[in-house]
């Protein structure tokens, strides 16, 4: 049972997802704390919309075959 879990967690797809989630968590926590401290908490809405646009662009590039991933 534990071997199956370890095998799943060591697949390249899951490893990349965990690394990406870790990097996003670090950046989001730092920028979120800074924005709230500066009184710019409304700016988080703009950051969320920018991230949505970036995700849509990534999906578009993958769908059209431009991106190598």
Q: Determine contact, residues 45/39, Cβ cutoff 8 Å.
A: no
Is the pLDDT at 29 greater than 90? The verdict is: no
Q: How many residues does the chain have?
A: 69
Segment 1-30 shows an average pLDDT of 92
Q: Is residue 17 situated within a structural domain?
A: yes
Q: Is residue 49 situated within a structural domain?
A: yes
Q: What is the pLDDT of residue 56?
A: 92
Is the pLDDT at 11 greater than 90? The verdict is: yes
Q: Which structural domain range is residue 50 located in?
A: 10-64
Segment 28-50 shows an average pLDDT of 82
Q: What is the pLDDT of residue 34?
A: 83
Is the pLDDT at 18 greater than 90? The verdict is: yes
In the chain, the number of structural domains is: 1
The CA distance from 40 to 34, in Å, is 9
Q: Is residue 58 situated within a structural domain?
A: yes
């Amino acid at each position: 049972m534990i071997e199956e879990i370890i095998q799943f967690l060591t697949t390249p797809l899951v490893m990349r997802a965990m690394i990406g989630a870790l990097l996003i968590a670090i950046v989001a926590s730092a920028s979120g704390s800074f924005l709230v401290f500066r009184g710019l908490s409304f700016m988080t809405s703009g950051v969320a919309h920018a991230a949505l646009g970036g995700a849509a662009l990534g999906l578009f590039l993958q769908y059209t075959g431009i991106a190598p991933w």
